[in-house]
Amino acid sequence: GNSPGRGTAVITRTKTKTKKPSLYRVLILNDDYTPMEFVIHILERFFQKDRESATRIMLHVHNHGVGECGVYTFEVAETKVSQVMDFARQNQHPLQCVMEKK
Ligand code: TYC
């Protein structure tokens, strides 16, 4: 540490930051009402999936109840969830999107 002023001591950090950010899965949940085509569109628009991957993920969710859209750091994952929830609500679909720590 150094001593910048009268009666003050500062501990300086020597070690380089090496902590990796925690990662979060963004998941979509199945429901009985959201059109398949709408879910495919969500996956293309907000998760940069090509049509084939988007269709595969949508069908996985349709058949299994839940599926992974992508893995992101906290703030990015939060933003994706908000974007999906806002877009679904705007279009009056009950689609649910959540995040979970890996
Ligand atoms: N189960 C919906 C239907 O049959 C399709 C769907 C798939 C809805 C995935 C939501 O996350 C979802 N129209």
Q: Does the beta carbon of 39 sit less than 6 angstroms from any atom of ligand 1?
A: yes
Looking at residue 7, what is its pLDDT? 53
**Distance between CA 101 and CA 25 in Å, rounded?**
6
Task: Split the chain (102 residues) into runs of 10 and give each run's mean pLDDT.
Answer: 50 85 98 99 98 99 98 98 98 99 98
For ligand 1, atom 5, which residue shows the shortest CA distance? 36
For residue 91, the model assigns a pLDDT of 98
Å from CA of 16 to ligand 1 middle = 46
pLDDT at 27: 99
Give me 28's structure tokens: 């979509």
Cβ of residue 21 lying under 6 Å from some atom of ligand 1:
no
Compute the distance between CA of residue 39 and CA of residue 37 in angstroms, rounded to an integer.
5
pLDDT attached to residue 13: 77
The secondary structure of 23-87 as a DSSP string is EEEEEEE--SSS-HHHHHHHHHHHH---HHHHHHHHHHHHHHSEEEEEEEEHHHHHHHHHHHHHH
Look at ligand 1, atom 7, and give the residue with the nearest C-alpha: 62
Which strands sit side by side in the sheet containing 96-101, from one edge to the other?
A: 66-73, 23-29, 96-101
pLDDT reported for residue 23: 98
Residue minimizing CA distance to atom 10 of ligand 1: 30
